[in-house]
Amino acid sequence: MPALIKTETPTLQPSDYKGPAAIYVHWPFCLKKCPYCDFNSHVRDEVSHDRWRAALVREIDTFAAHYPGLEASSIFFGGGTPSLMEPETVAAVIERVRRHWGQSDIEITLEANPSSVEAARFRDYRAAGVNRISVGIQSLNNDVLKFLGRLHSAEEALKALKVAQDNFERVSFDLIYARPEQSLEDWRLELAEALSFGTSHLSLYQLTIEEGTAFYHQFHRGKFKLPDEDEAAALFELTQDITEAAGLPAYETSNHAAPGQESRHNLSYWRGDYYVGIGPGAHGRIPAHTLGAAYAHAQIKRPEDWLAAVEASGHSTRELDHVTAEDRMLEAIMMGLRLKEGIGITDLEARFGTKVADTVNADVWRGLVTSGHMVDTPERLQLTREGWPLLNFILGKLVA
């Protein structure tokens, strides 16, 4: 990602911007830290839900005082394990977002782990205003779930999915593939079973090894191996074929949905829109006064330090970095090419006041079109089916 220009102090900068923004709310607590996870998640014996509820609401109030013109297009409760939140906390956050930035049509998603699912709690989340649920199933195989460090079984996962479908019209769940010793046939059968449940959205992620995780150390000590590049590419191609045939084509490299069921919140990230991050370690892009520019904000990561900062001063912003219009254009290209729709050239140039052609390597652009890895028109630039598996390599060349 592009380098950021530091401001002297992390003081929120008021803005009179009026327009849509996505709202992300981070709940940092888990029952157990998964070995592949590098998210800001923590295990705690006790959590003061009353204090956390008040602090989340207060941080929203502080951002709203500086950015009163935002219009919430979505709210996303991520983590951590948001399904460990008390429904009263979820309701309080939703009420406060609606009070400050409310619109009638807000997509409100909550992530849930099968091990923390209770039917009554799901009904309460629905009553609180949640209208979309994302279940972290990760695998339908018990041996794989054990390897991934999950606390639930495949049977528990399917029970949780049934509870979700009984309570919400919009349901998604996650699976991890390209795992050690996973064959094409293994994945074909597991994916076919996943599609049989009829959800309108699936997130299908290849297992990656992130520095600082338990898997990172195990992998580099040779405890397990991942599929090589050719095997991973074959698994990716199989995923595209099966999901397209089932009516859930990819709209982003790892996300698949029936038409109209795409995650509105995640599309905000990939399209380079504004978003506000609430909670420990949350990040955001909030309006600046210059055309196309923004401030990148980051909140204090450690839960106890975040809580103390919000209770003391109303928010926990530890970094506030000015992002130029040129760098926001670069971000929007890098994120937007993850999407099947690609990037709208005219739209980005109007928003950021700079040219796409001046941001990327023109020779690489032409070469990718000639090789069939990219297509372009005067209005749009997007990767082809052949280009998608090479996304990271292509981005490295295109924006060099």
CB environment 275-301: b (16+ within 10 A), e (fewer): bbbbbbbbebbbbbeeebbbbbbbbbb
What is the average pLDDT score of the chain? 93
Q: Is pLDDT at 345 greater than 80 in this prediction? A: yes
Q: Which CATH architecture has domain 16-268?
A: Alpha-Beta Barrel (3.20)
Phi and psi at residue 78, to the nearest 5°: -120, 180
User: What is the rounded average pLDDT of the residues 382-399?
Assistant: 93
Q: Is pLDDT at 3 greater than 60 in this prediction? A: no
Lowest-confidence range among 3-12, 167-176, 180-189?
3-12
Q: Is pLDDT at 385 greater than 70 in this prediction? A: yes
Tens digits of residue pLDDT in 49-58: 999 999 999 9
Q: What is the pTM of this model?
A: 0.94
Give the confidence band of 296 by pLDDT, cuts at 50, 70, 90: very high
Q: Is pLDDT at 225 greater than 90 in this prediction? A: yes
Long-range interactions of 302-309: CB distance < 8 A, separation 24+: 302/42, 303/28, 303/29, 303/42, 303/44, 305/280, 306/28, 306/55, 306/279, 306/280, 306/281, 307/51, 307/52, 307/55, 307/280
Q: Are 214 and 271 in contact (CB under 8 A)?
A: no
The angle subtended at Cα 170 by Cα 137 and Cα 332, nearest 5°, is 85
Distances (CA, A) of 17 to 54, 190, 289, 295: 27, 47, 8, 13
289 alpha carbon, distance to own chain's centre: 27
Tens digits of residue pLDDT in 241-273: 999 999 999 999 999 999 999 999 999 999 999
User: What is the rounded average pLDDT of the residues 9-35?
Assistant: 89
Tens digits of residue pLDDT in 74-110: 999 999 999 999 999 999 999 999 999 988 899 999 9
**Residue found under tokens 């941001």:** 359
Give the confidence band of 5 by pLDDT, cuts at 50, 70, 90: very low
Q: Return the H-helix or E-strand segment holding 22.
A: strand 19-27
Give the confidence band of 6 by pLDDT, cuts at 50, 70, 90: very low
- All structural domains of the chain with their residue ranges: 16-268, 325-400
Query: Which CATH number fits the domain 325-400, given the four candidates 3.20.20.110, 1.10.10.920, 1.20.140.10, 1.10.150.650?
Result: 1.10.10.920
User: What is the rounded average pLDDT of the residues 350-357?
Assistant: 92
Q: Identify the CA nearest to 182 among candidates 234, 133, 134.
A: 234
Q: Is pLDDT at 59 greater than 90 in this prediction? A: yes
**Residue found under tokens 């195989």:** 141
End-to-end alpha-carbon separation of the chain, Å? 11
Crossing angle between the packed helical segments 391-398 and 362-371, to the nearest 10 degrees: 140
User: What is the rounded average pLDDT of the residues 111-124?
Assistant: 86
Q: Is pLDDT at 277 greater than 60 in this prediction? A: yes
Residue that wins the pLDDT comparison between 311 and 1: 311
pLDDT of the residue at 10: 67
Q: Identify the CA nearest to 295 among candidates 305, 285, 308, 306.
A: 285
Q: Is pLDDT at 378 greater than 60 in this prediction? A: yes
User: What is the rounded average pLDDT of the residues 310-334?
Assistant: 94
